[in-house]
Amino acid sequence: MGKTLSRIIGVVGGIALLGVLLGACGSSPATSSKEPTVVIGYENNGADPEMVAIAEGFFAKDMKGVHVELREFSSGPASLAALASGSLQFMTGIGNPPAAAAISQGVPLQAVWAQELYTTDEGLVVRNGSGINSLKDLEHKQLAIVVGSTSPFEVDTAFRNAGIPASSVAFVNMSPPAMVAAWARGQLNAAYVWDPAFDTMLKNHGHAIMYDRNVERQAPIFNLAVVNSNWAKSNATLVREFVQAEQAGVTFYRQHPQRALKDMAKEAGIRVALAQTELAGFRLYNLQDQLGPDGLGTGSGVKDSLVTVALRSAATYLLSIHQVSSIPQDMSIHVNPAYAQYVAHHQ
């Protein structure tokens, strides 16, 4: 679980096809004779208060006068294509790199809720006794990463901060299960990966020399909830109610942690113990957090909020590796705290 397809940078290849869909942006979903349907897409990101909102039925409860359809997506390209076409109104659990890629391709979306920031759920684990105790020690050694994930984004930022040329490290592309297997055989000494593989290797004669949180000011990794911004213009009340349901999930988790953990585990298909481990590696955001500088921000602060920084830095990285041909000059117009502000002021 942990870092799912919502965070895969390879989404860019899929959304290259979105140009043919953009003309349909903002179209309404199919409606019944009784009430219109609002479709909320989500990816299985493991332990997350949103899974509580799904399990407890908060979206259907809070979003009035519509039929709420929850649709699970297994890939970023499919969800972003649906968002662009207007057949999907909301997408949740999407990482800022694929969101930035979609924005750069012209998909009309805005971040309206920051679900969580990755802190210690992912990092660089090295084998005890390997002689690797710092980033500098990785020069001329192998480092396993998942090519196409956000790990290269984090590693590249960390190496630049430390003044280490990335070309001096031998990167090996491996899946998390393959990393765990190679580690168990003693064939791997260093990997940048996320839970549960990260935690498994830490417990098997490993230690961490960095986490996502070490580069969060330059390369923060979020799971975000975004809305089709064309549709949102004429459906502000529903967007506010969506935000209210997201907040209800966080509140329920804090008030009823044991039941909430069971909800998360059931919805994500994982053990409760793993849900607890994953949650420990996130910074969870409530309604008030959305409006602070480490969330969406407010007013003039949106331009430099951490969510805006996350989208801007991810877009800049994608441009540097030629995954997108251009990026917006002002990423802050794709971060909208107005809905969260309204809910906060009318509680």
Strands 109-118 and 37-42: unpaired
Half-sphere exposure of 186 (CA within 13 A, CB side): 1
Q: Going residue by residue through the chain (347 aa), what tens digit of pLDDT does each one get?
A: 345 433 444 455 555 445 444 444 444 454 445 889 999 999 876 789 999 999 999 999 999 999 999 999 876 667 888 898 899 999 998 889 889 999 999 999 999 999 999 999 999 999 999 999 999 999 999 999 988 777 888 999 999 999 999 899 999 999 999 999 999 999 999 999 988 899 999 999 999 999 999 999 999 999 999 999 999 999 999 999 999 999 999 999 999 999 999 999 999 888 999 899 889 999 999 999 999 999 999 999 999 999 999 999 999 999 998 989 999 999 999 999 999 999 999 98
- 130 near 205, Cβ under 8 Å? no
CA 88/CA 114 separation, integer angstroms: 19
Looking at residue 128, its pLDDT comes to: 98
pTM of the model: 0.87
- 38 near 63, Cβ under 8 Å? yes
Closest CA to 66 of 107, 35, 45, 43: 35
Half-sphere exposure of 188 (CA within 13 A, CB side): 30
Looking at residue 222, its pLDDT comes to: 94
Looking at residue 247, its pLDDT comes to: 98
Looking at residue 12, its pLDDT comes to: 52
Looking at residue 166, its pLDDT comes to: 87
Looking at residue 78, its pLDDT comes to: 76
- 88 near 39, Cβ under 8 Å? yes
Looking at residue 32, its pLDDT comes to: 46
Domains of the chain: 5-118+219-345 (3.40.190.10), 122-214 (3.40.190.10)
Taking the CA atoms of residue 2, residue 277, residue 96 and residue 163 in that order, the dihedral angle to the nearest 10 degrees is: -100
39 phi, psi to nearest 5 deg: -100, 125
Looking at residue 33, its pLDDT comes to: 52
Taking the CA atoms of residue 305, residue 308, residue 310 and residue 314 in that order, the dihedral angle to the nearest 10 degrees is: -150
The SS3 of residue 297 is coil
